[in-house]
Amino acid sequence: MKKVNILYLTNTGNIIGGGEISLLDLLHGLDKEKFNPLIVCPFKGNLTEAIEKLGIEVEIVQMKSLKIPNPFLFIDSIIKLSRILKDRKILLVHANGSRCAIYGAIACKIVKVPIIWHVRILESDGLIDRFLAKFSSIIIVNSNAVKERFKWLKDKSRLEVIYNGIDLKKFSNSFKGEKIRKEFGFDIEMPIVTTIGRLDWYKAHQYFLQAAEKVKKIIPNVRFLIVGDGERRDYLENLVKELGISENIVFAGNRKDIPEILNAIDIFVISSVSEGFGRVVVEAMACEKPVVATRVGGIVEIVEDGITGKLVPPKNSEALAEAIIELLNNKEESKNMGIAGRKRAERMFDIDENIKRTENLYKKICSVPLQWDDDYSSV
């Protein structure tokens, strides 16, 4: 059987968030007997290093932001991409983001190759959305909430909802949490509440901290672990001081041992005001942890309110605090929610199902005779 050459485009060479992790998981599980992946990134980074460790080739083509366009660089990048498509006999392009999809769409139009545009963000890009929708054979969205971004699209058959998947073997309750508790000085009896994610505006950590201040008044020995880093760290550290909860808060920065951290905690919280999906919520559920989350975006498609966790209104620290206190004071309910969460993760968010559905899209698109149909040569 001849392989189908697929070119993957990504906006960055670094692992910034769930979008890059999801791409890595897809590439790791992709059926290499049927599909031959090549990656194009704008620069080298820890994402390209991880991809190359999978034995997959990476090429570098600049794909600069178009907010301040440089027409010469833009044209040069389009020419390079077009040449790669022709020279490597690419049958399909999968763009993991909007900026790279703009470059990819134009190159694909020139060379007559179909493109899939993968969208993971709720907020519209206005006219760019309409431009890319026109040139995309399929638009993959990672939740029904993100699908609403394209409610204006007449041909809804080109929209495909594929939830982000996770490796359920990697995220489970089989890890021991004692090491993490010891590292951060948490006593074995201390209740631990954590949130994981970039310290970015839409994660809205200020409401998490305001809720922490309220929870501390009821449960004084509680500890709050904030995993992640970002531009708002200074602001959040100052807020901790203002709220007088410094001894209850730990900023852990970026970590690579997320499964171990999740197994060391009691409750996972996400206080976002916008969330296309919420990958880390699934990771917490897979580790059998109850979730307290805001009722926004794709999160409502992950968490079953009252069954796998509690959903609260966004920007409401009081509601966050009440839900956290209730779960900390009811260990039986928390345990049952954790077990239900694991079952839901197995049923709906397994990486194998994500890969299977994505590969089926590839087969569907590539079943149409294309200009390289007689020569599926290896990349």
* CATH number of the CATH domain containing 293: 3.40.50.2000
Average pLDDT, integer, range 307-336: 98
pLDDT at residue 120, rounded to an integer:
95
Same domain? 298 vs 185: yes
Residue 252, in any domain of the structure: yes
pLDDT at residue 173, rounded to an integer:
85
pLDDT at residue 344, rounded to an integer:
98
What is the number of structural domains in the chain? 2
| CA distance to 116, 218, 308, per residue, from 160 (Å) | 10, 46, 26
Same domain? 152 vs 195: no
pLDDT at residue 69, rounded to an integer:
78
Average pLDDT, integer, range 203-232: 97
| Percent of the chain scoring above 90 in pLDDT | 90
Residue 341, in any domain of the structure: yes
Same domain? 150 vs 226: no
Average pLDDT, integer, range 270-288: 97
Residue 172, in any domain of the structure: no
Same domain? 209 vs 239: yes
Same domain? 45 vs 94: yes
pLDDT at residue 111, rounded to an integer:
96
Query: What is the per-residue pLDDT across 47-72, written as a single tens digit (0 to 9) for each?
Result: 999 999 999 999 999 998 888 878 99
Q: What confidence tier does 353 reach under pLDDT thresholds 50, 70, 90?
A: very high
Average pLDDT, integer, range 190-210: 97
Whether 374 has a pLDDT exceeding 60, the answer reads no
Query: What is the per-residue pLDDT across 120-150, written as a single tens digit (0 to 9) for each?
Result: 999 999 999 999 999 999 999 999 999 999 9
Residue 170, in any domain of the structure: no
pLDDT at residue 379, rounded to an integer:
34
Same domain? 192 vs 333: yes
Across the chain, what does the average pLDDT equal? 94
Same domain? 88 vs 47: yes
Whether 365 has a pLDDT exceeding 70, the answer reads yes
Same domain? 135 vs 202: no
Residue 263, in any domain of the structure: yes
pLDDT at residue 9, rounded to an integer:
98
Residue 373, in any domain of the structure: no
Whether 18 has a pLDDT exceeding 80, the answer reads yes
Residue 375, in any domain of the structure: no
Whether 234 has a pLDDT exceeding 70, the answer reads yes
Same domain? 152 vs 64: yes
Domain assignment of residue 19, given as a range: 4-165+351-366
Q: How far is CA 226 from the centre of its chain?
A: 18
pTM (2 d.p.): 0.91
Same domain? 344 vs 355: no
Same domain? 10 vs 142: yes
Residue 187, in any domain of the structure: yes
Least confident of 10-19, 230-239, 316-325: 10-19
Residue 55: exposure state from Cβ atoms within 10 A (0-12, 13-18, ≥19): exposed
* Cβ contact 57:88 at 8 Å: no
Average pLDDT, integer, range 9-33: 94
pLDDT at residue 1, rounded to an integer:
61
pLDDT at residue 376, rounded to an integer:
35
Same domain? 137 vs 161: yes
